[in-house]
Amino acid sequence: MLTSFSISPCMGKVNSLSFLFVFSVLSNRFVISDNLTPRGVPLSRAALYDPQKDFSCLDGSKLIPFSMVNDDYCDCPDGSDEPGTSACSRGSFFCQNAGFVAGYIPSSRVNDHICDCCDGSDESGTVQCSNTCDELGRAAREEGERLAKLLKDGYQKRVEMASSGKEFRKSKDEEKAKLEVERQRLEIIKTEKERIKEEVEAPEKEALERYRLIEEEKQKLLNAAEEAKAASEAENMFILLDSNGDGKLTKDEIKTRQTFDKNKDGEVSDDEALFFLNMEEEMSKEDFLTTGWMMAKPFFLMDQGMFQPPIEDQEEEQEPSLMSGGQPITVTEAPLKELTEEEIQAQGDHVSYNAAGEKEIIPGVVEEQEEEEELYEEDGPASVEDVKVEESKYDEATQQLIDAAEKARSEFNEADKSVRDIVHQLEELNDVLNLDFGDDERFAPLHGQCFDFEDREYVYTLCPFKSATQKPRNGGGEVNLGKWGSWTGPEDNKYTEMFYDRGQNCWNGPNRSARVKIACGTENRLTGVSEPSRCEYQYEYISPAACSQPHHGHDEL
Ligand code: MAN
């Protein structure tokens, strides 16, 4: 503290003048205080500068006469002999700055015609420095008071947030306990429903198995009938084509059938006939039944319009079925004496009469195709799905078993879904309970809230413990900047920074991420967002939860 110097009114004129001289010499080297502390030295170190003794450089390197202290010549290597001049490059000058904050400035700034200390003590030459310490002190005190109030109010709110945070956790814990009880209740119901389901499914299964066996038998019979029909169809055809009834098919016999005119040029050539005879001159009945009919059948089907021929052949395709050179194949061309009309019909073939009153046989290939399709649809083992589609095919008792099983299944499914729903709810609840809301739960009230900050281009959003996003103001989709990761503040203050990572991939760069710096404030607010490095964002957020407890008597200034 600077002490003002007063001149005694009883001093004589001479005395006064000589005193002024001494004073002017001394005042350049000393701060006039109770014990004449040298200029540039704080009171706390005055003892090191005793005018009655030689001066020992503070680094202990030299002992010099005290008259060499502040003589504007640097003697000590550490500059300690010139605390009040600019002679030593390594020296420093102490500003008392009464009313503001005391402190050191480098010696080079002493007497450099620029006022550095607010009390102006660094300039003892021509420059007149005004003392601004009181003014600065007042402003600093006001700022200090503002900060102290912010800290006090913020801390008060932090206490409230912590209290709601604890409430929040408590209510979630209670909710979890209730859900656990409910889950157990639903599990019991599910187990019971499963037991009932299995109980009623057993007789249903048995009944359906009986039906399945019957179906299987039916299917076997149908297949056998099909095979027999196919065999007799081939047999009939052979009889039809073997005009001379010698048990062999020859080229000439084939050539009389227009059906075998593959290229539709109006006649069946030798090559075309040979094709159907497996490139042999003749074909035995056995060969016809095993392979020949297989080759010939498609041409009969074509004649019947079963296959659509190429466009240019369409006119000819519209000819009547089973034509031979424009003439229908008639029974007179093949000895079918041994087959009666009934027998033919039984085989699925058709008998009709042409305009000339001649009998025609039209093989039952079309019907066969349709039947095959029907059979295919009916194929497969009896299952519950089949049961649903064709409920009417069961007798009343079986149907009752099926209905009971259906009901039990549906009740079980319902119970199972209730259990799954509650397990899901519990998982979500556990996710919340596992969050670190701060040692006193003070950040918990932020859970479920979202905060926005808009700059010229984007609206940034922070949903604490969930996500950070960015949405362009001029339209366009929301960009995920990161999902909640962890607290990343320094070890001794970890709840001052949040980290959100695993954001949307940045083209040619990292996945986006955001750091949220949290400072003390009296409200919860997002105050700024920047992108210091591409796709790495920094959010500035204020919250009472970041206010630490004010120290008592917080008035350092
Ligand atoms: C978008 C925004 C920007 C980001 C670029 C990277 O424009 O997400 O913040 O820098 O993509 O390509």
Give distance in angstroms: CA of 490 to centre of ligand 1. Answer: 28
Which is the closest atom of ligand 1 to the Cα of 512?
Answer: 8
How large is the average pLDDT for residues 478-496? Answer: 97
Residues with CB under 6 A from ligand 1: 470, 479, 506-507, 531, 534-535
More confident residue, 554 or 72: 72
Other beta carbons within 10 angstroms of residue 486's beta carbon come to 11
- What is the distance in A from the centroid of ligand 1 to the CA of 212? 65
Q: What is the pLDDT of residue 310?
A: 56
Alpha carbon of 535 to ligand 1 centroid (Å): 6
Stretch 523-550: mean pLDDT, rounded?
97
Per-residue confidence (pLDDT) for residue 238, from 0 to 100 = 93
Mutate to test the pocket of ligand 1, among 461, 481, 506, 537 (most ligand atoms within 8 A of CB): 506
| Residue 281, beta-bridge partner list | none
Mutate to test the pocket of ligand 1, among 481, 534, 537 (most ligand atoms within 8 A of CB): 534
Tell me, in angstroms, the distance from the centre of ligand 1 to residue 507's CA. Answer: 8
Contact 118/97 with Cβ under 8 angstroms? yes
Say which residues have a Cβ less than 8 Å from residue 423's Cβ, sequence separation at least 6.
183
Helix pair 293-303, 365-378: axis angle to 10 deg = 100
pLDDT above 90 covers a percentage of the chain that reads 69
CA distances from 18 to 6, 13, 25, 53 (A): 15, 9, 11, 25
Q: What is the pLDDT of residues 396-453, one digit of tens each?
A: 999 999 999 999 999 999 999 999 999 999 999 999 999 999 999 999 999 999 999 9
pTM, two decimals, is 0.59
More confident residue, 7 or 306: 306
Q: Give the residue whose CA is nearest to atom 4 of ligand 1.
A: 535
Largest CA distance in the chain: 173
Give the distance (Å) from ligand 1 centre to CA of residue 508.
Answer: 11
Q: Average pLDDT, stretch 351-364?
A: 43
Query: What structural domains and CATH numbers belong to the chain?
Result: 9-131 (no CATH), 151-310+396-437 (no CATH), 448-546 (2.70.130.10)
Angle, CA of 483, 484 and 488, to the nearest 5°: 125
